[in-house]
Amino acid sequence: MEPKRLNKSGKGSVKIPRGAVLIYDDIEEIKATKGRGSSWPGEKFVHKFNKRGSKIYGLPNGQLLVVAKKPLWDIFNYPEK
């Protein structure tokens, strides 16, 4: 599948695909369960977003896109299996 052309948003280097619809203007937290291929299968996690300005867009194909002007969390290395 060929990637869609992206439009540049008004701020920073965040790019929002054409046709995206803003659903949430600020994310506070996301609750999720790790999948079978994870180092922690079935484990539940809560990601709290301390930095303001993260947004969720709905894309024309039904997918969701999470974007922010700055990284949403610190990068860390997962332990070896």
Q: Which amino acid is at 8?
A: K
- Domain-located, residue 77: no
- Domain-located, residue 43: yes
Angle at CA of residue 13, ends 7 and 16, nearest 5° = 30
- Domain-located, residue 1: no
| pLDDT band at 12; cut points 50, 70, 90 | low
- Domain-located, residue 61: yes
Query: Above 70 in pLDDT, residue 45?
Result: yes
- Domain-located, residue 80: no
Query: Above 60 in pLDDT, residue 67?
Result: yes
- Domain-located, residue 33: yes
> What is the three-state SS of 28-68?
CEEEEECCCCCCCCCCEEEEECCCCCCEEEECCCCCEEEEC
pTM confidence score: 0.64
Residue-range definition of the domain harbouring residue 51: 6-67
pLDDT at res. 62? 95
- Domain-located, residue 75: no
CB 66 within 8 A of CB 72: yes
- Domain-located, residue 74: no
State the total domains in the chain.
1
